[in-house]
Structure 1
Amino acid sequence: MHKLTVIGLGAAELSQLQMGVYKKLKSAQKIYVRTMDHPVINELQEEGIVFESFDAVYEKHGTFQPVYEEITARLVEVAQIEPVMYAVPGHPLVAEQTVQLLIEAEKEGKIDLKIEGGQSFLDPIFGALKIDPIDGFQLVDGTSFSIHDINMRGHLLIAQVYDAFSASEVKLSLMEKYRDDYPVTIVTAAGSSLESLTTVPLYELDQSMAINNLTTIYVPPVENDLDALRDWTTFRRIIATLRGPNGCPWDQKQTHESLKKYLLEEAHEFLAAIDAEDDFGMVEELGDVLLQVFLHAQIGEDNGYFNLEEVLASVSEKMIRRHPHVFGDVAVEDADEVIANWDAIKKQEKGETENAGSLLKGEYRATSSLQTSFNYQKKAASVGFDWPNEDGAWEKFLEEWNEFKEEVTKGDSSTRLDEFGDVLFTLVNIARFYKISPDEAMIHANEKFARRFSFVEQKVKESGQSFSSFTLNQLDAFWNEAKVLEKKEN
């Protein structure tokens, strides 16, 4: 195994190349380079230095990762035969994926790697833009960065933007968070005699002719919350401001208890938007649900009990812990097995045993008797107290229905109430077998009734008469008309 030396060509022309790097390049018999597209290489060729590039590898692949992997594999292969010098733009350890792959190869014992110096493009970039990196900055790869990891309140530098196509991909990603006309600066050949800075609105980023192998895109920090409405930090700051000393009197006085009803209302409105297949409505209503979550987190922080980070940590840990088939080495065959694992892990987390108290503990829901019934029956079914299939549930429903009808004829109101409760309980059990949420079904039924009855009211109003002027059959005809219209709309 021979030594594989990686050396940096710097960010500009030969005149700015470090003397030590220059001497090492001059002493090499042959130098491998990722690309010939660098001003130093052109000048060194004139001095008789021989370079072998991997430019042809780029033409073989549609994405960059396999290019980097093939270059790395070739270098490792050559290093088994002879010493290798590999030169890359800038500094080897700044925005150079092939070097990172070579470091992995060294860890695996495939090569003896040495990394030499070289000026990175960051120093001349900071100088050209006249920014202080201590304020906070991010350097990301334009071919693979995720917009979800971007800090909009820091300096953002995007490297590996080679041409109009890669610039277009970067533009589309940035437009997921930044406004379309947000100013971005195209920095080319920073620190060299060819240095140029061009500031354009974001939507014009891929229309610039200055983009090439020496280009870096600079996105300045946002200066106000209106420029960062799609950033989580902005929303958190809005809620904190509303709850703060100079905020809104209504928000300031809210408590966990006072907000309970609003969380239920917003959740139901979101469910209604789902039923209506209203995407815009879902965006709005889900935002209202999110508002409730952030308000409760802010109240927790204001009271010194918990904050949003603790909420996130709790649910993140839970999701990882309860999905060992995704984040671990557990194998599952289907969704039913996933649910079984989930319940087993949940039981283990809570330290539940057969003697630790009732299985139904914690399943009561004060806001919904239907949901409580569903929870009780689901919990009982988890230990085998259940019908083998839906047939048993149907038979039990018919039995309870007949008992209720018998009590109706007897006229005993207390027993009648009890028997009707049994009927509802069996209906919830049937819903469970068919994987229907009884609470959601009831919400849907109520909404449907309100919608159709509103149509009946409208018809009565249009007639100029009162409800008492219509027979039940006439009102029922209006109801049926509403049903027909709904079917046509669907």
Structure 2
Amino acid sequence: MSHFDEALIFDPNGGMPRLLEIMRALRDPDHGCPWDIEQDSASIAPYTIEEAYEVADAIERQDWPELEKELGDLLLQSVYHAQIGKERGLFDFDSIANTIGDKMVARHPHVFGDESRNKSAAQQTVDWETIKAQERAGRAQHGVLDDVALNLPALTRAVKLQKRAARVGFDWAETEQVLDKIREETQELVEAKALQSHEHVTEEFGDLLFVMANLARHLKVDPEEALRAANAKFTRRFRSIEAALSERGKSPNESDLEEMDALWNDAKRIEKAARSPDVA
């Protein structure tokens, strides 16, 4: 490893230069790690997504020491992509940092330019979207939906697609119209199920989910956040069922739906009572 800066690599206070040097050593074709050398941006993209979710998880749990570690893992992903880009002559870490720096300055003229800071958050959001539209036009992305990332979580991407379409007037004016569409799509799903066509059922189920995402947008609800909360609630209540069954000397496999449903309702009543002491 003599052609690397070993003093920097083993310096616990080496900061960003240390991490960049470590990645350069890991990717070295003669002295690096065989696994790291074999990777490319496509092969590590799933890890990048996973690390972003783990950052969000630590924040949701308010585990700040864990957040520090997860942010480091996510930063490593950026360093990894930067090293691969440098090897291919495409970009490097400095050019990435400069690009995002330029973008932040350009998108905040009320901080770094002559525009007034005396704006509401809503007006700043409108201004931000206007600047982004100008940037897309400069990149010859003329389609309204052109740069909505394909690999976003499906519900999040659905909302982003709908927001883009809404900007040009392709949207329902009233929430009740979205509810009507949900009823329509639900009926179409029932009809598809009756035909026993899995392909048709899948299509109609997707349509229903898409409209549900639209309802979330109209209600100003983040569907991913709402579903995460529902997942957490289900997990919490099912664990209550397991605990109650354990007290009876049983496991879920030794129970039945009627018993578990009754225990579910018990857990539900306890949660409601805990939230509101006045609830019977």
TM-score calculated relative to the size of structure 2: 0.77
Q: Is the 8 A contact 1:298 1:308 kept in 2?
A: yes
Report 1:197-208 matches (<5 A): none
Q: Out of 322, 344, 348, which is 2:130 matched to?
A: 344
Aligned mates of 1:262, 1:481 — CA distance in 2? 40
Identity of aligned residues (%): 36
Matched, 1:242 2:26: yes
Q: Is the 8 A contact 1:374 1:432 kept in 2?
A: yes
1:126: which partner in 2?
A: none
Matched, 1:278 2:66: no
Aligned mates of 1:270, 1:324 — CA distance in 2? 30
Displacement after TM superposition at 1:228 (Å): 0.8
Displacement after TM superposition at 1:361 (Å): 2.2
1:325: which partner in 2?
A: 110
Change in Cα spacing, 1:451 to 1:261, as seen in structure 2 (3 Å) is farther
Displacement after TM superposition at 1:352 (Å): 6.4
Aligned mates of 2:19, 2:272 — CA distance in 1? 38
**Letter in structure 1 aligned against 2:218:** F
Displacement after TM superposition at 1:330 (Å): 2.1
Change in Cα spacing, 1:248 to 1:427, as seen in structure 2 (3 Å) is same
Q: Is the 8 A contact 2:155 2:224 kept in 1?
A: yes
1:290: which partner in 2?
A: 75
Aligned mates of 1:263, 1:448 — CA distance in 2? 28
Displacement after TM superposition at 1:437 (Å): 3.2
Displacement after TM superposition at 1:421 (Å): 2.4
Report 1:395-410 matches (<5 A): 395-405=180-190, 408=193
Displacement after TM superposition at 1:471 (Å): 0.8
SS, match of residue 228 in structure 1 = coil
Tell me the C-alpha RMSD between the 2 structures.
3.5
Displacement after TM superposition at 1:395 (Å): 3.8
SS, match of residue 349 in structure 1 = helix
**Letter in structure 2 aligned against 1:436:** V
1:394: which partner in 2?
A: 179
Matched, 1:259 2:48: no
Change in Cα spacing, 1:297 to 1:223, as seen in structure 2 (3 Å) is closer
Matched, 1:433 2:205: no
Alignment deviations for residues 285-305 of structure 1 (CA, whole Å, 9 cap, x no partner):
122111111111111112322
Aligned mates of 2:50, 2:239 — CA distance in 1? 20
Q: Which runs of 5+ in 2 are unaligned?
A: 1-6, 275-280
**Letter in structure 1 aligned against 2:204:** E
Change in Cα spacing, 1:458 to 1:252, as seen in structure 2 (3 Å) is farther
Matched, 1:360 2:145: yes
Q: Out of 99, 103, 108, which is 1:314 matched to?
A: 99
Q: Which runs of 5+ in 1 are unaligned?
A: 1-221
**Letter in structure 1 aligned against 2:185:** E
**Letter in structure 2 aligned against 1:348:** Q
Displacement after TM superposition at 1:327 (Å): 1.0
**Letter in structure 1 aligned against 2:148:** E
Aligned mates of 1:420, 1:224 — CA distance in 2? 52
2:121: which partner in 1?
A: 335
Figure out how many residues of one structure are paired with residues of the other and give that number.
266
Displacement after TM superposition at 1:319 (Å): 0.6
1:381: which partner in 2?
A: 166
Aligned mates of 1:299, 1:380 — CA distance in 2? 36
1:232: which partner in 2?
A: 16
Aligned mates of 1:462, 1:264 — CA distance in 2? 40
Alignment deviations for residues 242-286 of structure 1 (CA, whole Å, 9 cap, x no partner):
223433332222210111111111111111112212222222212
Change in Cα spacing, 1:453 to 1:237, as seen in structure 2 (3 Å) is farther
**Letter in structure 1 aligned against 2:72:** G
Q: Out of 417-426 and 456-465, give the one that drifted further.
A: 456-465
Q: Is the 8 A contact 1:364 1:375 kept in 2?
A: no
Alignment deviations for residues 372-423 of structure 1 (CA, whole Å, 9 cap, x no partner):
3122101101112223354443343344334444555666655544433232
Q: Is the 8 A contact 1:272 1:444 kept in 2?
A: no
**Letter in structure 2 aligned against 1:275:** E
1:421: which partner in 2?
A: 206
Displacement after TM superposition at 1:429 (Å): 0.9
Displacement after TM superposition at 1:448 (Å): 5.1
Change in Cα spacing, 1:233 to 1:336, as seen in structure 2 (3 Å) is same
Alignment deviations for residues 348-381 of structure 1 (CA, whole Å, 9 cap, x no partner):
122269x965312232524533233122101101
Displacement after TM superposition at 1:475 (Å): 3.0
Report 1:22-33 matches (<5 A): none
TM-score calculated relative to the size of structure 1: 0.47
Q: Is the 8 A contact 1:460 1:466 kept in 2?
A: yes
**Letter in structure 1 aligned against 2:127:** N
Displacement after TM superposition at 1:306 (Å): 1.1
Q: Is the 8 A contact 2:9 2:21 kept in 1?
A: no
Alignment deviations for residues 140-194 of structure 1 (CA, whole Å, 9 cap, x no partner):
xxxxxxxxxxxxxxxxxxxxxxxxxxxxxxxxxxxxxxxxxxxxxxxxxxxxxxx
Q: Out of 427-436 and 364-373, give the one that drifted further.
A: 364-373
